[in-house]
Amino acid sequence: MVLPLLPGFWLGRWVGEANGEESFVVSFLCLAVVLAGVACVACGFFSFRTHISEYVSRRTVCFGVTLFLYLFLFGCWRSAAAWQNVQKAWPAESRLWRVMLADVPEDAGHSVLVAAMVLGEGRTIGRIQLYFYGDSMAKHLQVGDELLFKGIISRPRNRGNPGEFDFASYLAVKGISGRASVLEGKWRKTGGYDGWDNRLPFMSNLLVGALRGREHLLDLYSEAGLRGEPMALFSALTLGEDSALSPELEDVYAGVGVTHVLALSGMHLTYLVTMLNFVLLRYCRKRVAKWLGGILVLGMIWGYTFLAGIPPSLVRAAVTYSFMQVGALLGRSGFSVNSLSVSAVLMLCLNPLWLYDVGFQLSFLAMAGILLVYPRCREWGFMCNRRWAWLLDSLAVSLAASTFTIPLVACCFGTFAPYSALGTLFVSPISAVLVYCMPVMWLVGWTGVGTVVCAKVVGWLVFLQNGCLRWMASWPLAVVDVDWSPLLMVSCYVGLAVCLSVSYFSRATWLKLLFSVTLWIVCVGVADAWLKRARSGVVFYFNSRCPAVHVIYSSGVSYLFPAFPDSVREGGMAYIADSFWRRKLSAPPVVVSGDYHDARVSATGGLVECTGGVSFLVLCDGRWGRLKSNVRADVDYLYVCRGFNGNLSHLARLFRPRCVVLDASLWASDRERCLQECRDLGWNCYDMRREGALKVALN
């Protein structure tokens, strides 16, 4: 079932993104007709081959090809419909919108962001992300609150900076098709969630109700005495609410390679299921009692999944344990790769967008590693040591899961944590105790007995766990920065498959395959490193907080020309430094804040000439507009940033630009004025707000 579905899901994304709503049905029908013709030809070919017909009947061949085609088309249809829904075209003008908050507001420093559902006449139109700028009242909003705001909803777009995280695809995978900025005074609260809303789908009603219940439990934690870091970590470990985690703490967990502890997954649900089975099923002897207890456990598992916001990793674990629980009630036990594949098929049929969710991928890869690698680890001789059996088993499980997740993590996040298995081995028992503290905290919160003691215990455990992880993060080579391509990642998984197939080939054949795959991985890695090296060029960054131009000659020689040098010192380039600079540059760029001259660049008053045939002028004030000249100078780019209070028509007496670059930091009125002036002067114009960051090659 997986083999035809996965290509169908992939092709469905291409169909959904490449075609508009009008041509979607026509494109899909054309694809179905073509594939049906191919299937008929294939059935005829295989049915009339004599040496095949001797072993397989024509009816069997036709049934297999038809089922394969049906599953492929079903996957294509489900994926195309899902991607078509998130490629929604929103009106370009400002309108009055009614929305209902679908998540907890998150404080992002300069703004408050929250996911919301746009409400129409008796139905929901789509999911969007709201940005409240400079409005402290937005922090007090809750899940289910109904708002009325005026603004423009636009499609999410990436900024286009090199090495940047694909934020638009991330939002699309979350089902978010638009984003809107809400200014202070342009919105008001009109109501709240009353337990059921007929405009919302059934699942959305369940999810909003569960998230409102989660907010009450978070208030319970706060009333029990949890504050600061213990409150943030305990909320993330038990309820999946990670908006209060500090960036420093997230970096510590990522540095040790135990970020999966912060995201609810199978590990957390294992602790919960173990406790539920011990309490509800251990003493059930009669068949009816076992069935009632099993149904109650399944209800609690799925209730907890909704309470945590149905993250894909937790849904995978809930589906897995549902199969195991039903199997135990039917007298069957065990969980195999086939069962894992069935779980993936069911989840992807419900929501094909999960296929591109990194949490979904990591969860299934970790489980596949445990199922495939852990049994082989048990065959090692030293694993038979009874004294250290529990420690060796835990370490083997961590290594098995890490083996299958390392290539994906290296490709998606550009890091490799050598101590991840050791960190998981240390964090697991403390996390288990913290998860077991969850029902105790709920109980003492409702009764009011022992709240201080429970909060002290949780705080001490959090302090112990975070302190040890901070110590491990300070170890040498705790984090290794890498830059893997998808081809290198796939090659590594092919190598893992060859390593695990030792029992299916002779020793000589297996060694030949292993040598060939290893040589291929080395060649791909060398070619990948050469192709991904830092190339010479000029980058005009899309960064409204810190407008800057980056001139790159090599990985070790580059220059940064910021419009406002203080913004660089205040961390305005932090997110670019953590991604692009860390992966591509061997040395940080030289920050030029005034006049500067050397063999490669020459900067005077914001006018920069680079060796390589590129020149640009940074305009962040009105100094050049007051000058006069009888001769116009040629300049490649006029870089207009926030603070420029002159007119481009005045600069036409001084310069003949090849292109005018309008930075993202410009206010909307200034950007429209500059666009109109460029049209009047006949100048080429590049608007970052519409087209993203600009990258120019040096000669």
pLDDT at residue 22, as a whole number: 47
pLDDT in tens, 225-244: 888 888 988 998 888 888 88
Question: Model confidence over 362-371: pLDDT tens digits?
Answer: 888 988 888 8
For residues 274-297, average pLDDT: 77
Tokens 């590693």: give the residue.
Answer: 369
| CB-CB contact of 105 with 98 (8 Å) | no
What was the pLDDT predicted at 57?
A: 59
Please check the confidence at residue 50 and state whether its pLDDT lies above 60: no
DSSP 3-state of 602: strand
Residue 78: per-residue pLDDT: 84
Q: Is the pLDDT of residue 28 over 70?
A: no
Cα angle, residue 441 at apex, residues 438 and 446 outer, rounded to 5°: 130
- Calculate what percentage of the chain has a pLDDT beyond 90: 20
Residue 658 tokens read as 């090849």
Confidence of residue 342 (pLDDT cuts 50, 70, 90): confident
Tokens describing residue 649: 């028509």
What is the pTM assigned to this prediction? 0.84
- Given a contact cutoff of 8 angstroms between Cβ atoms, the answer to whether 210 and 306 are in contact is yes
Q: What was the pLDDT predicted at 27?
A: 60
Higher pLDDT, 433 or 26: 433
Question: What pLDDT does 609 receive?
Answer: 93
Residue 267: what pLDDT?
A: 81
Q: For position 55, what pLDDT does the model report?
A: 47
Tell me if 312 sits within 8 A of 359, measured CB to CB. yes
pLDDT category of residue 25 using cuts at 50, 70 and 90: low
Retrieve residue 72's tokens.
């492929």
Task: Please compute, for residue 36, the number of CA atoms within 13 A of its CA located in the half-sphere on the CB side.
Answer: 6
Q: Is the pLDDT of residue 639 over 90?
A: yes
Q: What per-residue confidence (pLDDT) applies to 382? A: 61
Closest by CA position to 234, among listed 32, 82, 68, 445: 445
| Overall average pLDDT of the 497-516 stretch | 89
Question: Rounded to an integer, what distance in angstroms lies between the CA atom of residue 249 and that of residue 527?
Answer: 35
Question: What percent of the chain lies above the pLDDT cut of 70?
Answer: 89
Task: Give the range among 199-203, 396-400, 588-592, 628-632 with minimum mean pLDDT.
Answer: 628-632
Q: Round to whole Å and give the CA distance between 93 and 180.
A: 12
Angle, to 10 degrees, between the axis of helix 451-473 and the axis of helix 420-447?
A: 170
- Whole-number mean pLDDT of the chain? 84
- Provide mean pLDDT across the span 57-69: 70
The answer to whether the beta carbons of residues 8 and 72 sit under 8 Å apart is yes
Question: How much is the CA Rg of the chain, to the nearest whole Å?
Answer: 29
The runs of H, that is alpha helices, within 414-485 are 420-447, 451-473
With bands split at pLDDT 50, 70 and 90, how would you rate the model's confidence at 677? very high
Query: pLDDT at residue 378 above 80?
Result: no
- Exposure class string for 7-21: b at 16+ Cβ within 10 A, else e: ebbebbbebbeebee
Q: pLDDT tens digits for 535-579?
A: 899 999 999 889 999 999 998 999 999 999 888 888 889 889 888
What are the sequence ranges of the domains in the chain? 2-86, 95-200, 215-481, 486-528, 537-697
DSSP secondary structure string, 99-156?
EEE-S--EE-SSEEEEEEEEE-SSSEEEEEEEEEES-GGGGG--TT-EEEEEE--B--
The Cα 331–Cα 338 span in angstroms is 18
Torsion angle, CA of 385/390/395/396, rounded to 10 degrees?
70
The answer to which of 133-142, 208-217, 451-460, 579-588 has the lowest mean pLDDT is 133-142
Element (DSSP H or E) covering residue 275: helix 266-276
Q: What's the CATH code, domain 95-200? A: 2.40.50
Rounded Cα distance, 368 and 88, in Å: 35
